[in-house]
Amino acid sequence: MIKKILIIKHGALGDMIQADGMFQDIRKAYSKSKIILLTTKPYEELYNAAPFIDEIIIDERKSIWRIKEIFSLACKLRNSKVDLVIDLQNSKRTRYYKKIILNKIKWNDTSNIIDHDSGFQTQLMLLRNMGIKIKFSQAPNIQWIPKDVSQLLKGHNIKGKFVVLIPGSSKKNQIKRWPYFPELEQLLIKNKISVLTLLGKEERNLEVSFRGPVLKNLSWFELAGCLNESAFVIGNDSGPTFLASYLNKNGLAIFGPKNPSKLTALIRGSFKAIETNNLEKLNPSDVYKSFKNF
């Protein structure tokens, strides 16, 4: 019997949300096992609240030459006494863990799987090869994340139906940012549509460009709550946009040339894509028309 399973998943918010259904399918397949998630510090609070994860181990992803930190992580992993590892990251780092730290533990990763169109499809194949039935991976239930934000919205005079704008992205992927969200906001307001803009810690400099209400530095649960209450979401190819899509909202994601929508699992259900070879040339009026024609 498999008593303890270690799932490894690093990455940005979009990667974590995309993997959420996989966590749930693993939990269903191993209902009597303890599930431990190895992930990074930003997601500790989020996945401590997940009903399908029993324990979190934080990986600071220090250089392998940082002997003290790597030794500390190795001790935590070995002391966890897991019987099985499911590596959903399959990176050079996790292959090092496989070879050096947990070399005696049964390890499942995607290294022997022929690449599909996307990493997501490759990970699904990994679960299928393990005999795990795919149910939540393609239709995850993340209603465990949103919190009640009625008082938060009331405090910012946000009432009735509203459109959420997500103009940011991580600092590492600023190339994904469509630059005309302020102009789109004005088009929406001009047409008497209520708008709420959501900004993360790495996007606070954008606040001065918006005239309507802006919420920033929200917790994961508040962010999900605001998205859950919205009537429509328009965002870049970013983690919060993934979150909106997986909350089954109506929405539009704007993709530039770097990462075509077909390579992600963001476009699903009532969430559609606007794709362009040049974000600078995508006109706000065209995005507004796509919104009106939805």
Query: How far is 136 from 72, CA to CA, in rounded Å?
Result: 34
pLDDT per residue as tens digits for the range 67-82: 999 999 999 999 999 9
pLDDT per residue as tens digits for the range 52-68: 999 999 999 999 899 99
Who contacts 273 (Cβ-Cβ below 8 Å, separation ≥6)? 252, 253, 254, 255, 261, 266, 267
Residue type, 129: N
For position 186, what pLDDT does the model report?
A: 97
Which residue segments constitute the domains of the chain, with CATH numbers given?
4-129 (3.40.50.2000), 150-292 (3.40.50.2000)
For position 117, what pLDDT does the model report?
A: 64
Q: How confident is the model at residue 212 (pLDDT cuts 50, 70, 90)?
A: very high
Work out the percent of the chain whose per-residue pLDDT is above 70: 99
For position 287, what pLDDT does the model report?
A: 98
pLDDT per residue as tens digits for the range 167-192: 998 777 788 899 999 999 999 999 99
Are 120 and 265 in contact by the 8 Å Cβ rule? The answer is yes
For position 114, what pLDDT does the model report?
A: 73
Tokens found for residue 228: 């859950």
pTM (2 decimals)? 0.92
Span 92-99, mean pLDDT?
95
Q: Which neighbouring-strand residues pair with 215? A: 198
Specify the residue for token string 């005696």.
104
**Does the pLDDT at position 91 exceed 90?**
yes
66: part of which helix (H) or strand (E)? none
For position 282, what pLDDT does the model report?
A: 97
pLDDT per residue as tens digits for the range 219-243: 999 999 999 999 999 999 999 999 9
Interhelix angle for 13-29 vs 239-246, to 10°? 40
Tokens found for residue 4: 């303890």
- For residue 145, the 8-state DSSP code is S
Are 260 and 275 in contact by the 8 Å Cβ rule? The answer is yes
Tokens found for residue 97: 């863990």
Arithmetic mean of pLDDT over the chain: 93
